[in-house]
Chains A and B, each alone.
Chain A
């Protein structure tokens, strides 16, 4: 067992984890954050995506001990002020959510993109979500939602 301390969605957190535990397992089983999901478990689907220091990582392939000292964000961070983030509003408006399984990962990748690039073009958006599979929407609505959210976020600046 190891004690790890990290910032989770803006709050300092300390937990005990097993040496062979994944960050995905620690978030779900020890911290109850079930928005982070195991789809494939081998880094091919993106449903386990979390942000590590604002960059998307697959938590299923990340040892929990690697979170020590880092800033970890899950989709809960986006609405931590109490209101939905413009990205979340845009996903709803565009019909970018069907079964919802990929949605937390898609939102985090979109959020990370907008942090680095306030004015992404279609190609930037496709690239940003290229490590995340959606089997419902066909991606068009997700891409549209991210584009629309970028416009709204720009106006808010």
Chain B
């Protein structure tokens, strides 16, 4: 049984914003795959605002500047979306690995971000695409990089009165891009390790490298010093070895030594070797 709450179904963005501002202790619901589980475990909200059917939150637009993703778009839809496969392949791949078919048909990209799990599959790909979240309330509108929105595991800086109204990402074209993950089973499993990568090479050099690692540290992160080291460097075993050493050091610096690192770090090393060697 779920705790008692009142629910409203928003038909427009305006309506959702107005309810967020006027209702006491509100919570946005879209797919419900995380929130329903939390409420069943006892989490109390006075009002639940369902935004899954709000047209403005379901649109995907592609412009010269980039892509804008409606946060209520499901993982299933993103995983087969042609503009996503073309501009952000790692995101399409990661969305296709989230949970199970049912979870992907229900769960949304916005919900995955707002839940802010260290193991969220969609977050590393969004990080390499420099995702910026548009957060709106009745009074204000702000644009915040995803990296700044997640402040701790399962904690974001999104205010209770704010609505995530879109996710803006930079397309990456001409990159070798993908998402690799390790989990206890091939499907319906929480990622124990997730790596999003986009690599552009030119005449034996790394022209540009973007990496994001999930499920290793409290929040998925981009090892930017490693990216800096590789950018412009000649592609060689020496530089790859050094880059991986730096990445592993950075993880240990962020989290200290954790029991799972006995297997995670060697596995991560293997994945990074494969990814960088290409």
Residues of A near any B CB (own CB < 8 A): 2, 19-22, 41-44, 46, 49, 52, 55-58, 60-63, 65-66, 68, 109, 127-128, 130-132
A63 and B102 form a contact (CB under 8 A): no
Q: Most chain-A CB neighbours within 10 Å: which of B3, B5, B32? A: B32
> Can you name 20 A-B residue pairings with CB atoms under 8 Å?
A20-B3, A21-B2, A46-B100, A46-B102, A49-B102, A55-B76, A57-B105, A58-B33, A58-B102, A58-B103, A58-B106, A61-B32, A61-B106, A62-B32, A62-B106, A63-B48, A63-B50, A68-B9, A130-B101, A130-B188
If A20-B2, A43-B102, A66-B32 are given as contacts, then 10 extra A-B residue pairs at C-beta distance below 8 Å, sorted by A number, are: A19-B7, A20-B3, A20-B5, A20-B7, A42-B37, A62-B106, A63-B29, A63-B48, A66-B52, A130-B188
A127 and B101 form a contact (CB under 8 A): yes
Whole-angstrom distance from the CB of A59 to the nearest CB of chain B?
10
**CB within 8 Å of A: which B248-277 residues:** none
Q: Please, how many angstroms separate the alpha-carbon atoms of A94 and B40 in the complex?
A: 37
Residues of B near any A CB (own CB < 8 A): 2-7, 9, 29, 32-33, 36-37, 40, 48, 50, 52, 76, 99-103, 105-106, 187-188
Q: Known contacts being A41-B40, A43-B37, A61-B32, is A127 close to B102, with CB within 8 Å?
A: no
A65 and B50 form a contact (CB under 8 A): yes
A55 and B187 form a contact (CB under 8 A): no
B188 and A131 form a contact (CB under 8 A): yes
Q: Which residues of A have CB within 8 Å of B5?
A: 19-20
Q: Known contacts being A57-B106, A61-B36, A65-B50, is A19 close to B6, with CB within 8 Å?
A: yes
Q: Please, how many angstroms separate the alpha-carbon atoms of A49 and B101 in the complex?
A: 11
B4 and A20 form a contact (CB under 8 A): yes
Q: Please, how many angstroms separate the alpha-carbon atoms of A49 and B105 in the complex?
A: 12
Q: Which residues of A have CB within 8 Å of B7?
A: 2, 19-20, 63, 65
Q: Please, how many angstroms separate the alpha-carbon atoms of A63 and B48 in the complex?
A: 10
Q: Most chain-A CB neighbours within 10 Å: which of B3, B48, B106? A: B106
Q: Which residues of A have CB within 8 Å of B3?
A: 20
Q: Please, how many angstroms separate the alpha-carbon atoms of A71 and B20 in the complex?
A: 29
Q: Chain B: which residue is nearest A17 at the CB level?
A: B7
Q: Please, how many angstroms separate the alpha-carbon atoms of A21 and B39 in the complex?
A: 12
Q: Which residues of A have CB within 8 Å of B100?
A: 46, 130-132
Q: Please, how many angstroms separate the alpha-carbon atoms of A26 and B1 in the complex?
A: 12
B103 and A131 form a contact (CB under 8 A): yes
Q: Please, how many angstroms separate the alpha-carbon atoms of A46 and B102 in the complex?
A: 8
Q: Please, how many angstroms separate the alpha-carbon atoms of A42 and B100 in the complex?
A: 13
A131 partner, pick from B29, B32, B99, beta carbons under 8 A: B99
Q: Please, how many angstroms separate the alpha-carbon atoms of A48 and B90 in the complex?
A: 31
Whole-angstrom distance from the CB of B264 to the nearest CB of chain A?
24
Q: Please, how many angstroms separate the alpha-carbon atoms of A46 and B99 in the complex?
A: 12
B101 and A131 form a contact (CB under 8 A): yes
Q: Which residues of A have CB within 8 Å of B32?
A: 61-63, 66
Whole-angstrom distance from the CB of B222 to the nearest CB of chain A?
30
Q: Chain A: which residue is nearest B45 at the CB level?
A: A20
Q: Which residues of B have CB within 8 Å of A130?
A: 100-101, 187-188
Whole-angstrom distance from the CB of A97 to the nearest CB of chain B?
21
The 5 closest A-B pairs by CB, nearest first: A131-B100, A130-B187, A19-B7, A61-B36, A131-B102
Q: Please, how many angstroms separate the alpha-carbon atoms of A108 and B99 in the complex?
A: 18
Q: Please, how many angstroms separate the alpha-carbon atoms of A41 and B99 in the complex?
A: 15
Q: Chain B: which residue is nearest A21 at the CB level?
A: B2
Q: Please, how many angstroms separate the alpha-carbon atoms of A41 and B103 in the complex?
A: 13
B101 partner, pick from A2, A42, A61, A109, beta carbons under 8 A: A109
Q: Please, how many angstroms separate the alpha-carbon atoms of A128 and B60 in the complex?
A: 26
Q: Known contacts being A20-B2, A41-B40, is A65 close to B103, with CB within 8 Å?
A: no
Q: Please, how many angstroms separate the alpha-carbon atoms of A47 and B7 in the complex?
A: 26
Whole-angstrom distance from the CB of B37 to the nearest CB of chain A?
5
